[in-house]
A and B are shown apart, each in its own frame.
Chain A
Amino acid sequence: MKILVTAKRVEDPESKIKVKADGSGIVQEGLKYKINPFDEIAVEEGLRLAAKHGGEVVVVSIGPKEVQEQLRHALAMGATKAVWVNHGGALDPMSAAGLLKAVLEREKPDLAILGKQSIDDDQNQTGQYLAEWLGWSQATFASKVESLESDAEKAKTPAIHIAADGKSAQVVREVDNGLTTLSVKLPAIVTSDLRLNLPRYASLPGIMKAKNKPIEELTPAALGVDASPQIQVVKLSAPPPRKAGVKVGDVQELFTKLKNEAKVI
């Protein structure tokens, strides 16, 4: 089976993000970038399914040439080949979904797994648009019961279970009150939640093998897609800095402050 996964380039969540003085964006200087963590989980799930059912994992990213680093990362984890949509402009969920739709129509995967959202703008829409526009089934927030993966946990029924005939899949997904299990017809769009798996580390031999794996370059024009965004970011502002805390001498003082200053009791 053929599985397509995504690898968006995002700011490293451990970087210190500074908003530009004029609020037009963030300071790029000195920032590190990495694969969107939800996408990395999608890549891992794709690799596990391909290992189980046979087949290949194709990884897609949209952006300038730097996104090849994230594609190489996914290739180093074990993806078979990469598709790079060379696009320098701003991207919103609709433009990303439009480009991905064209890529999926070319690649014709049995299953596409996307991160449920990217940690830069937290939109959580691309997978949903994509399923709608393709007319495919969708199962968002694919998840597992436990956050950490013991050997026992790994042996449990996986969150994405492909039927023996390859025509449908069962997907466990996270909802407010727990988990639901959906059965979807393939091809389908699945988006990955945080607790779906713990992505493998890229190994050094994997990194070296990735150097020789193919990255196919496409452009919005070649795909026949108008990628201009529908959403315009008007202004960014940083959250107000946290005020320093105070140390209280005893429980009595704490109660007094909670009552008289914070007015919470």
Chain B
Amino acid sequence: MERSGVEALYRLDDALSAEERAVRDAVARVVDGEVLPVIGRHFREGTFPAQLIPRLGELGVLGANLTGYGCAGVSNVAYGLGLQELERGDSGLRSFASVQGSLVMYPIHAWGSEEQKQRFLPAMAGGTCIGCFGLTEPEAGSDPGSMRTRAVRDGEGWVLDGSKAWITNGTVADVAVVWAKTDDGGPDSVRGFLVEKGMTGFAAREIPGKLSLRASWTAELSFTEVRVPARNVLPGVQGLRGPLSCLNNARAGIAFAVTGAAIACFEAAQAYAAQRRQFDRPIGSFQLTQEKLADMLERIVQAQLLGLRLLRLKDEGKASPVMVSLAKRANVRSALEVARSARTILGANGITDDFPPLRHALNLESVLTYEGTHEVHTLVLGKAITGIDAFG
């Protein structure tokens, strides 16, 4: 596919393997053919394009960086490129894939029992089983250690009580990875529970009134004496390390993916600036517009190079949480700035859903504060730089 030169400028393709390019192009083809024609309507109507889930399954993009159990086993770079293409469609679609792959399949793959892996992973890779991830609570966001959801032993199994908020895919999920405190209630007591649709006492309610990620399911989950059998507890992990590893994994992908939204906005602005005429000349001839476009291109290139380096390090097993924080913080901010700036080039047309910039800008407002707020990532960096923990 012909791109506006965003990737050609620094010969990004030369830094990718043939498989990585093939993965990107395979996902891009689905996004161009099946996502872009319908996504504006879904955003307007506040619906997730559920008809695309089987396509994502066939394509094999869900949990594609995992190996075995029906997963493709691609590199993290290839996976990031796939997510970038989904994000170029819509952040809601990419969020669906991030949650399914990095937040649900990954912990089952890393810490699940063999039986759990066999039961869930192939179906999740194929898109026939949908997952959600329950960590955030109404009163526990950046400070997950303050969670109130508790699991109490009940013979061999557990009884779960509490609630979770802002849960992507929550209302449709077949399985929820729910993190809850156990026993003494200390942060180290946190364990992961696989709560399945239909378990008595488990309910999900769609959160109304969103102005962002409108083409995405976002729910509040409640657990009232939900009996979870022992075979549905993740055996391999205990403590906040579990959910935080999931998030770190997802964030690395997001850091790369958000550039997809920025590319979509840049291309829309570039095309509009060439075609829209005022004062008898294209608005792309005005220096102010040119400066905006130059800033946008600069941010996209910087984000891509940073994201690529991060995922290469992840493939080598050398990516640290600090690197992930820096890249997520920098790239989401850049993508949001690109989207807002693109919107201004489109003038009034830019506020409609006929064009992608404001839809992406609104989505990116969520991405700015989910998966670690911009501020928390700042403080992670602050601690790494000064050695002083701002959280005390």
Interface residues of A (CB under 8 A from B): 12, 14-16, 30, 32, 68-69, 72-73, 76, 201-208, 211
- B322 located at the interface, meaning its Cβ lies under 8 Å from any Cβ of chain A in the complex: no
Q: Find out whether the CB atom of B58 lies under 8 angstroms from the CB atom of A73.
A: no
A69 to B71, CA, bound (A): 23
Closest Cβ of chain B to A205, distance in Å, is: 4
**Residues in B whose Cβ lies below 8 Å from that of A203:** 26, 58-60, 72
A12 to B21, CA, bound (A): 14
Closest Cβ of chain A to B365, distance in Å, is: 30
Q: Find out whether the CB atom of A207 lies under 8 angstroms from the CB atom of B30.
A: no
A69 to B70, CA, bound (A): 25
Closest Cβ of chain B to A264, distance in Å, is: 29
Closest Cβ of chain B to A44, distance in Å, is: 14
- B22 located at the interface, meaning its Cβ lies under 8 Å from any Cβ of chain A in the complex: yes
A205 to B26, CA, bound (A): 11
Q: Find out whether the CB atom of B19 lies under 8 angstroms from the CB atom of A211.
A: yes
Other-chain contact of A30, B8, B26, B73, B82 (Cβ < 8 Å)? B8
Q: Find out whether the CB atom of A204 lies under 8 angstroms from the CB atom of B72.
A: yes
Known: A16-B2, A76-B26. 8 other contacts (CB 8 A): A201-B29, A202-B26, A203-B58, A204-B64, A204-B72, A204-B74, A204-B78, A205-B73
A73 to B27, CA, bound (A): 14
Q: Find out whether the CB atom of A207 lies under 8 angstroms from the CB atom of B1.
A: no
Closest Cβ of chain B to A173, distance in Å, is: 27
Other-chain contact of B72, A68, A69, A72, A207 (Cβ < 8 Å)? A207
Closest Cβ of chain B to A162, distance in Å, is: 26
- B61 located at the interface, meaning its Cβ lies under 8 Å from any Cβ of chain A in the complex: yes
Closest Cβ of chain A to B56, distance in Å, is: 10
- B23 located at the interface, meaning its Cβ lies under 8 Å from any Cβ of chain A in the complex: yes
- B348 located at the interface, meaning its Cβ lies under 8 Å from any Cβ of chain A in the complex: no
- B18 located at the interface, meaning its Cβ lies under 8 Å from any Cβ of chain A in the complex: yes
> Count the A-B residue pairs with Cβ separation under 8 angstroms: how many?
59
Other-chain contact of A208, B2, B58, B73 (Cβ < 8 Å)? B73
Closest Cβ of chain B to A188, distance in Å, is: 31
A64 to B74, CA, bound (A): 27
A146 to B79, CA, bound (A): 36
Closest Cβ of chain A to B53, distance in Å, is: 15
CB contacts under 8 Å to A, within B1-50, are: 1-2, 5, 8, 18-19, 22-23, 26-27, 29-30
**Residues in A whose Cβ lies below 8 Å from that of B74:** 204, 207-208
Known: A204-B64, A208-B74. A12 touches B2 (CB 8 A): yes
**Residues in B whose Cβ lies below 8 Å from that of A206:** 60
Q: Find out whether the CB atom of B2 lies under 8 angstroms from the CB atom of A204.
A: no
**Residues in B whose Cβ lies below 8 Å from that of A32:** 1-2
A72 to B22, CA, bound (A): 9
Other-chain contact of A204, B5, B18, B82 (Cβ < 8 Å)? B82
A204 to B61, CA, bound (A): 6
Interface residues of B (CB under 8 A from A): 1-2, 5, 8, 18-19, 22-23, 26-27, 29-30, 58-61, 64, 70-74, 78, 82
Nearest B residue to A34 by beta-carbon distance?
Answer: B25
Which of A68, A73, A202 is most buried by chain B, counting CB atoms within 10 A of its CB?
Answer: A202
A34 to B21, CA, bound (A): 12
Nearest B residue to A15 by beta-carbon distance?
Answer: B2
**Residues in B whose Cβ lies below 8 Å from that of A202:** 22, 26
Listed by A's residue number, 12 A-B pairs whose Cβ atoms lie within 8 Å are A30-B5, A32-B1, A201-B58, A203-B60, A204-B26, A204-B61, A205-B71, A205-B73, A207-B74, A208-B72, A208-B73, A208-B74
**Residues in B whose Cβ lies below 8 Å from that of A68:** 18
Q: Find out whether the CB atom of A201 lies under 8 angstroms from the CB atom of B59.
A: yes
Q: Find out whether the CB atom of B18 lies under 8 angstroms from the CB atom of A69.
A: yes
Other-chain contact of A14, B1, B30, B60, B70 (Cβ < 8 Å)? B1
Nearest A residue to B18 by beta-carbon distance?
Answer: A69
**Residues in A whose Cβ lies below 8 Å from that of B82:** 204
A76 to B72, CA, bound (A): 12
Closest Cβ of chain A to B155, distance in Å, is: 41
Closest Cβ of chain B to A203, distance in Å, is: 4
Q: Find out whether the CB atom of A12 lies under 8 angstroms from the CB atom of B1.
A: yes
Other-chain contact of B23, A14, A30, A204 (Cβ < 8 Å)? A204
A14 to B25, CA, bound (A): 13
**Residues in B whose Cβ lies below 8 Å from that of A73:** 22
**Residues in B whose Cβ lies below 8 Å from that of A211:** 19
Nearest B residue to A30 by beta-carbon distance?
Answer: B8
Nearest B residue to A13 by beta-carbon distance?
Answer: B2
Which of A12, A76, A205 is most buried by chain B, counting CB atoms within 10 A of its CB?
Answer: A205
**Residues in B whose Cβ lies below 8 Å from that of A208:** 19, 72-74
Closest Cβ of chain B to A124, distance in Å, is: 25
Closest Cβ of chain A to B373, distance in Å, is: 31
Known: A14-B1, A16-B2. A201 touches B26 (CB 8 A): yes
Closest Cβ of chain B to A85, distance in Å, is: 19
A68 to B18, CA, bound (A): 10
**Residues in A whose Cβ lies below 8 Å from that of B72:** 203-205, 207-208
Q: Find out whether the CB atom of B22 lies under 8 angstroms from the CB atom of A201.
A: no
**Residues in A whose Cβ lies below 8 Å from that of B1:** 12, 14, 32
Other-chain contact of A72, B18, B27, B78 (Cβ < 8 Å)? B18
A161 to B27, CA, bound (A): 32
A243 to B2, CA, bound (A): 24
**Residues in B whose Cβ lies below 8 Å from that of A12:** 1-2
**Residues in A whose Cβ lies below 8 Å from that of B8:** 30
Other-chain contact of A201, B2, B5, B30, B71 (Cβ < 8 Å)? B30
A72 to B19, CA, bound (A): 9
Q: Find out whether the CB atom of B2 lies under 8 angstroms from the CB atom of A14.
A: yes
A23 to B70, CA, bound (A): 51
**Residues in A whose Cβ lies below 8 Å from that of B26:** 76, 201-204, 207
**Residues in B whose Cβ lies below 8 Å from that of A14:** 1-2
Which of A15, A32, A203, A207 is most buried by chain B, counting CB atoms within 10 A of its CB?
Answer: A207
Closest Cβ of chain A to B299, distance in Å, is: 22
